[in-house]
Amino acid sequence: MEMWNELIEGWVSQGKIPGAVLDIRFGDAWRYSRAYGRLAPNTSSNNESSHAIDRPAKLSTLFDAASLTKVVATLPAALLLAQQRELRLDDEVSRYIPEFRHGGVTLRHCLQHTSGLPADMPGYLDRYTALDPLQDALAQDLISVPGDRALYSDVGMILLGVVIARVAAQPLDAFVKQNVFEPLGMMDSTFNPPAELRNRIAATEWDGRRYLQGEVHDEKAYRLGGVSGSAGLFTTAGDLSRYADSWLYPERYNLLDPEWIDEAVSRAIQGRGLGWQVWQQGGDEMACGKLMPEGTYGHTGFTGGSLWLEPKRGLSVVFLTNAVHYGRNNLIRELRPELHNAIFAHFYMS
């Protein structure tokens, strides 16, 4: 039995994660796909959560992708508009959002998390207080000079979602569906999934009233109607594997030209490319562990999932889980590197 299979089965049985789907592709020659655990184990005895359907996870299970939205929706949308010359990455944000008061902050800065904007905005943990994420994002002061250092920021990605909608003259989710998901055959990727999909969706966290199942977990995206540049996407492991292929083999897809793929991952600053985290020698360890070759890139989501690509040999690893179903003090940050170390060791050290 593969080491990663033993790891995930153990985590489910030990109550470290509720359920998961793993999808590994190694070039065109090899693929491993398996589902583990259940969709909503904490809800089975909770009468207040009777709407939540607990079933075994399947390959078709949809997960709240959380911040994977940044690289699966917002990033390709921005790059496509740049490729079509509808915008330029070095344009200032204020060109598209005149209400934004900080000159010198560009779209590239926001994609690369070097905008100088703070990581987050206070006051959003209570899901049901009356707040306006866009107005709060516009009100944020810079905490560093744009381009000076990398600081992961939801604020910048929220603003990018607004820019994309304004340039495309349609909502972010509609643009991404039409221009990214449908061309790639990602038919299970959506924002605000309809009620009829609920029995396929892994439940996330107890919000004080109920377990969330099919409703976005991220509080800022929730207040933005479920669609944000920073979060909101629901998707499957199979769809993310298709998406990974479009980055590993852009010549096969009529989506992003190879030069835009290179643009996104070749000039990382402090481990940050455009959207993606990019492994560089001497950098901090990332969620994909310590055995990956330099140039491996990927991203994680707060709910538990991750997507990592190793372009030299065509390896992609999709790991979707609803670890946050067991609360925010879960072990996913420790588990993801262990999983990826086992996978990379299998392919590169055996």
pLDDT for 217-244, tens place per residue?
Answer: 999 999 999 999 999 999 999 999 999 9
Is pLDDT above 60 for 156? yes
Residue 68 lies in a domain: yes
Q: What pLDDT shows up at residue 270?
A: 93
Domain containing residue 270: CATH number: 3.40.710.10
What is the pLDDT confidence band of residue 48, given thresholds at 50, 70 and 90?
A: very low
- Residue partners of 16: CB distance under 8 A and separation at least 6: 323, 326, 330, 331, 335
Dist CA 108 CA 239 (whole Å)? 26
On whether residue 230 sits in a domain, the answer given is: yes
Residue 1 has pLDDT above 60, yes or no: no
Q: Name which residue leads in pLDDT, 324 or 280.
A: 324
Strand partners for 297: 278, 309
Q: How long is the chain?
A: 350
In a domain, 36, yes or no: yes
How many domains does the chain fold into? 1
Phi, psi of 51 (to 5 degrees): -70, -25
**Residue 51 is assigned to a structural domain of this protein:** no
Collapsing DSSP to helix, strand or coil, 63 comes out as strand
Considering the domain boundaries, does residue 117 fall inside one?
yes
What's the pLDDT tens digit per position in 78-112? 999 999 999 999 999 999 999 999 999 999 999 99
In the chain, the DSSP E strands lie at 19-26, 30-37, 63-64, 190-191, 233-235, 277-278, 297-300, 306-310, 315-321
Whether the per-residue pLDDT at 350 is higher than 70: the answer is no
Closest by CA to 94, choosing from 85, 83, 105, 86, is 105
Q: In terms of residue numbers, what domain contains 126? A: 3-46+56-348
